[in-house]
Amino acid sequence: MSIQQQATFWLKNVNDYTGEHGDSPALADGYRAFSDLMKTIYGDYHSYEVSTVESVCTKIGIMTDDLENYHYLTDTIDCLYQMVVLGSLREEGSTSYLEIEKVIFKKAFKGSVTFPFQMLESYGFYFRYLKNEKEVPAYKNCDQFSLFSEINAELIPAMKYIAGALPDLSAQDDYVGKKSSLFSISDFDSALLKSSTRQTDISPAKPGIINTANDKGELWRGMAECFMNDMKLTARAYINPYVFPNWTVKFLHKKKTIITFNISPNTISVNLPLSYDMAKHVIVNRANMPDIVRESIEQFGCMGCGKCLSQSGIEIFEGVPLCGREASNSLGEGPRSIRGNILSPEEVRVICDILKGMI
C-alpha cells in the first residue's frame, strides 16, 4: 500500500504566506520557504516508504509497514520542530543557525535521529556537531549540535519566529491539539495574525478543508453555505491527526450535533441520524432518492443496544426494520442514519432538504 493519503492530507492543509500577515515582514522570504519546505516533505512521501516489516493489517485498519512509514514522515517533521523550538538562534557572519543542547533535545525527541537527519539533509539542511566546544564527526559523539540551511537565508529565523509565536492549545477546544501540528502546516494565521484556533471559530469553508475535499470542494462549499447561511447552524471543525488524518466537521442546532462529516483527500463522508418521522419519509420516497439514501435505508434496523427484548422495539415499515431508539453513542451513530460518501450535487440537495425537514 502507501502513505500517499496521509501525506496528501497534510499537503492540502499547508498554508501559503500571502504577504498579508503583519508580523516580521522582513522574514517574508523565509515564511514562503517554510511553506514550500512543508509541501516538499509531504510531496516526497515515497522517500518515507522504506519499512521492511511484514505487511499485516493492524487492529486500527492500517498495514504495519504503512504505519511505520507514516511514523518516519511524522517523526521527521517532529524532529525539525523540536530543534526549532529548543534551539537558540545564532549568527555566523550573515548565516543564521540554531544551536541545540543534545541532552535537552533527547528529552523532547525520543526516537532515533538517523533517518530524520538524513531526510532533512536531503532537503538542504546540514549539521555541525560539537563536544566540549570542539567539532566532532557525528551526532553520537556530540553534546551540542547546530542546524544550518542552504535553502534560504531567512528560513531558520522564520521557523524560529513561527514556532515561538504559536498559541497554547487545548485538545478539547482547538482544531488541533499540539503546537507541532500547527507548525507542520505553517499556520501563519494563528502565529502571525493571532487568529483563533478554537473549533467553534474555524470556518467550514476554511481553505484547508476545501483543499482536502479537492475536486469535491465545491460540493462541500455548497453544503456548508446551506447549513450556515440558510439554516443558521453553528459548526465545530477539527483535525483528527492520527493514522488516517481527516477533518471532522459537526453542525449543531441549539447546541446539539445534528450532522457530522469526515473530510479526507477527495472524500466527503456523512453521518446524518434521522428522526423517526424523517426515516419514514425517506423510506416512502426512496425510489426518488439518490444512492446514498437508498443504500443507507438498507442498513436500517436493530443496532444491538440490548435495551429491548428480542427486537421488540423494531417496527417493520414498508418492509424496512425501523428502530424507535435515538442515536446513543459518542459518535452520534444510530439505527436510522444516512451514512456514506457524497458524490453528487443531487446528494447535497437531498441531504440539505432532509436536514431542513428536521429542524
Q: What mean pLDDT, rounded, does the chain reach?
A: 93
User: 23 and 169: one domain?
Assistant: yes
The backbone torsions φ and ψ at residue 354, rounded to the nearest 5 degrees and listed phi first, read -60, -45
Identify the pLDDT of residue 324. 75
Given the C-alpha cell 511553506, which residue does it identify? 35
- Using CA atoms, how far apart are residues 158 and 134, in angstroms rounded to an integer? 28
User: 73 and 123: one domain?
Assistant: yes
What pTM, to 2 d.p., does this model score? 0.92
Q: What is the pLDDT of residues 68-118, one digit of tens each?
A: 999 999 999 999 999 999 999 999 999 999 999 999 999 999 999 999 999
- Using CA atoms, how far apart are residues 29 and 263, in angstroms rounded to an integer? 32
Identify the pLDDT of residue 329. 44
- Of 142, 167, 192, the domain-final residue: 192
User: 68 and 166: one domain?
Assistant: yes
Bridge partners of 126? 148
Q: Are 115 and 75 in contact (CB under 8 A)?
A: yes
- Using CA atoms, how far apart are residues 24 and 125, in angstroms rounded to an integer? 23
Identify the pLDDT of residue 308. 61
**DSSP letter string over 129-189?**
EEETTEEESSGGG-SEEEEEESS-TTHHHHHHHHHHHPPP--TTTBSSS-HHHHHHTT-HH
- Using CA atoms, how far apart are residues 34 and 29, in angstroms rounded to an integer? 9
Q: What is the mean pLDDT of residues 53-60?
A: 93
* Band (1; pLDDT cuts 50, 70, 90): confident
Q: What is the mean pLDDT of residues 1-17?
A: 96
291 three-state secondary structure: helix
Residues with Cβ within 8 Å of residue 59, at least 6 apart in sequence: none
User: 182 and 203: one domain?
Assistant: no
User: 19 and 109: one domain?
Assistant: yes
Identify the pLDDT of residue 130. 98
User: 160 and 296: one domain?
Assistant: no
The backbone torsions φ and ψ at residue 222, rounded to the nearest 5 degrees and listed phi first, read -65, -40
User: 263 and 244: one domain?
Assistant: yes
User: 158 and 276: one domain?
Assistant: no
- Of 192, 227, 262, the domain-final residue: 192
Q: In the predicted model, is pLDDT for residue 341 greater than 60?
A: yes
Domain membership of residue 114 as a residue range: 4-192
- Using CA atoms, how far apart are residues 69 and 2, in angstroms rounded to an integer? 8
- Of 192, 225, 259, the domain-final residue: 192
**Closest residue by Cα to residue 282 from 177, 354, 178, 175:** 354
User: 177 and 208: one domain?
Assistant: no
From the number of C-beta atoms within 10 Å of its C-beta (0-12, 13-18, 19+), residue 141 rates as exposed
The H or E element that residue 210 is part of is helix 207-213
User: 23 and 96: one domain?
Assistant: yes
User: 275 and 137: one domain?
Assistant: no
Q: Report how far apart the first and last C-alpha atoms of the chain are (Å, whole number).
A: 43
* Band (330; pLDDT cuts 50, 70, 90): very low
- Using CA atoms, how far apart are residues 33 and 39, in angstroms rounded to an integer? 10
- Using CA atoms, how far apart are residues 254 and 163, in angstroms rounded to an integer? 37
Q: In the predicted model, is pLDDT for residue 21 greater than 70?
A: no
User: 187 and 247: one domain?
Assistant: no
C-alpha gyration radius of the chain: 24
Residues with Cβ within 8 Å of residue 16, at least 6 apart in sequence: 32, 35
Q: What's the total number of domains in the chain?
A: 2
Supply 107's cell numbers.
528529552
Contacts 24+ apart (CB under 8 A), 129-134: none
